[in-house]
Amino acid sequence: MTGADAAPTPELLGLARRGPPPLLEAEGVSKRFGAFLALDDVSLRVEPGHVHALLGENGAGKSTLVKCIMGYQATDGGRIRLGDREIVPKSPRDAQALGIGMVYQHFTLVPNMTVCENLVLARPRLPFVVDWAEERSGLAAFLTRMPFKVDLDARVRSLSAGEKQKIEILKQLYLESRVVILDEPTSVLTPSEADEVLSMLHRMARAGEISIVIITHKFREVTQFADEVTVLRRGRKVGYGKVGELTPQAMAEMMMGGAVPAETKGRAAGAAGDTRLRIADVHADDDVGVAALRGVTLEVGAGEIVGIAAIAGNGQEELVEVLAGQRPRTSGTVEVSGADFAPTRAQLRLRRVRCLPEEPLRNACVATMSVAENMALRSFDEPRYAVFGLFVSTQKINDTALQLVSAYGIRAPSIHTPIGRLSGGNIQRSVLARELEGEVDVLIAANPCMGLDFAAVAEVHDRIRAARDRGTAVLLVSADLDEIFALATRILVMSEGRIVHQTPVAGAEPAVLGRFMAGHGAHDEPHA
């Protein structure tokens, strides 16, 4: 032993794995994009072994802050400290080398590669020739210590969102990150998956293995799983506290600046009117030619919201695509208001069928076209905009866009901004505004609130209810049971491409629905 005065080498520090994770601190960080101040003197302190929630509405600067910490973007002011030294990560790889890892909202796994390849690829020092047998056995040994199992040979493309999320987290543990930042980790997960992932992270933090920063706008996640919370609004830190000392109301007021929206309205009790949408024995294949819909039959009446509950990958996405005209059906019939329906532009217009698909930027917008142009995508060739069906009036399109922007509270620099540059919530509002314009007989909505903050969720829900009250038949596909309970009049459960259960929302039990969603009928597991 040479005594305590010898400076610890990086190797020694690296070996001292059992120590607590280092303190992560951001002090007075600022970031400017052109004229827009995205972060204004924001500080964040992540205690070793704690779960720290970063709370804020869309566009509050949460992602910008962690991107600065990860070295994705340079800061324009302020300091970032890890342990007792200042760090200036130039790239995510630098941050990773320092032991800070991030799980992104949009997965960074390579879809065409296997789980094993993806994990090995993330290693900072990959040998020149990769011995796959050895890597694989190393990974298998690592997995035995992990709280959940994954199939190393599965292609990432074939995995559900929940499984991908778990692999992203596994990747961080495999890379021995000590501080793990998660950007809205539960936005793509089912409620039970979310609880499982978060409680696992919480346990690991308690065990002193890692510190966690979790970006979220769900209070339930903050109150159940976090130790401290920092609240951002419009690029500024507006609140900080221990979770036990803050009520959700207090956090909501910090986030919203006091403008908490009123409680959402209860369900209208009115009975469903005439059948608007009738789907009979519809079959369709998925992208690789496997049957995804195996005889779907359902009806939706005027003034009714029918919710489809299903675990991701059970055909609900394909059903929406079939109805929206994005995927051909192999057999079966679809009727709207009693007439045969094929989702062509002419028929969509004639039957007044509208669609609010999942990932609206990808499925319902042209990202590089302006907000105004995107809002006119359904109607620019109608006589009210197009003279002789040929010359489109920009003036009229802009007028309509301005009306919709103010009616739906869409925050955009201008109606001429490319829609792809808007935040997720504002894109969702823009598409909703377009799809609900005028008379709508049938509305297909798929996960309409995915990734939205709670004020936007309440607003989207109110708009859908308002459409229902005007007599629109709404088919709602959602991964969120709470959302289905909040909106639907009837609930259908879809499993393996079929409707396997049907119940009015009054008297529906989540546990029963869950069993059907998991592919077990009620008879498999009778109630005691």
Partner 1 sequence: MSDGVGGIWGLPIALVGGALRVSAPYLFVSLGECLTEKSGRINLGQEGTLIMGAMSGYGVSYLSGSPWLGVLAAGCVGVVLGAAHAWLCSLPRVNDVAVGIALMLFGTGLAFFLGKPLIQPKAPRLSSFELGAWSSSAPVRAALEINGLFLVGVAAAFAMRFVFQRTRWGLVVRIVGEDADAARALGYDVNRVRFAATAVGGFFAGVGGSFLSLYYPGSWSEGLSSGQGLMAVALVIFARWDPVRCLLASLLFGGAGAIGPALQSIGILGGYNLYATAPYVLTFVIMIATSSARRTLAGQPAELTVAR
Residues near partner 1, by CB under 8 A: 91-94, 96, 104, 106, 108-113, 117, 120-122, 126-132, 285, 287-289, 328
Q: How far is the CB of 138 from partner 1 (least distance, A)?
A: 16
Q: Whole-number minimum distance, CB 325 to partner 1, in Å? A: 14
Nearer to partner 1 among residue 102 and residue 371 (C-beta) = 102
Q: How far is the CB of 163 from partner 1 (least distance, A)?
A: 16
Buried b (16+ CB within 10 A) or exposed e, 478-503: bbbbebbbbbbbbbbbbbebebbbee
HSE-CB of 58 using CA atoms within 13 angstroms = 20
Closest CA to 472 of 308, 267, 277, 265: 277
Does residue 447 sit in helix, strand or coil? coil
In 3D, which of 483, 487, 488, 354 has the Cα closest to residue 431? 354
- Beta carbon of residue 172, minimum distance to partner 1 (angstroms, whole number): 12
Pairing of strands 77-82, 85-87: antiparallel
Residue 409 CB coordination number (10 Å): 13
Please give the full DSSP string across 378-437, using - where no structure is assigned: TTTTSTTTEETTTEE-HHHHHHHHHHHHHHTT---S-TTSBGGGS-HHHHHHHHHHHHTS
CB of 125 to partner 1, least distance (A): 9
Rg (CA), the chain: 25
Q: Which is nearer to partner 1, 130 or 522 (CB)?
A: 130
Nearest to 56 by CA among 253, 223, 228, 232: 232
User: CB of residue 132 vs partner 1: minimum separation in angstroms?
Assistant: 7
Give the span between the Cα atoms of 374 and 430, in whole angstroms: 8
Pairing of strands 339-340, 331-336: antiparallel
| Contact by Cβ (8 Å): 498, 294 | yes
Length of the chain, in residues: 528
Minimum distance from CB of 412 to partner 1 (Å)? Answer: 23
Phi-psi region of 63 (alpha: psi -120 to 50; beta: other; left: phi over 0): alpha
Between residues 126 and 522, which has the closer beta carbon with respect to partner 1? 126
**Smallest distance from the beta carbon of 96 to partner 1, in angstroms?**
7
Q: Which is nearer to partner 1, 102 or 452 (CB)?
A: 102
CA angle 157, 162, 165 (to 5 degrees): 80
Measured from the CB atom, the residue of 130 and 342 that comes closer to partner 1 is 130
Shorter beta-carbon distance to partner 1: residue 94 or 496: 94
Instruction: Say which residues have a Cβ less than 8 Å from residue 500's Cβ, sequence separation at least 6.
Output: 493, 494, 516, 519, 521
- Considering the complex, what minimum distance in angstroms separates the CB of residue 353 from partner 1? 23
Closest distance between partner 1 and the C-beta of residue 118, in Å?
8
Question: Is 396 in contact with 384 (CB distance < 8 Å)?
Answer: yes
User: Can you tell me which residue has the tokens 């109630």?
Assistant: 527
Least separation in angstroms between residue 215's CB and partner 1 is: 16
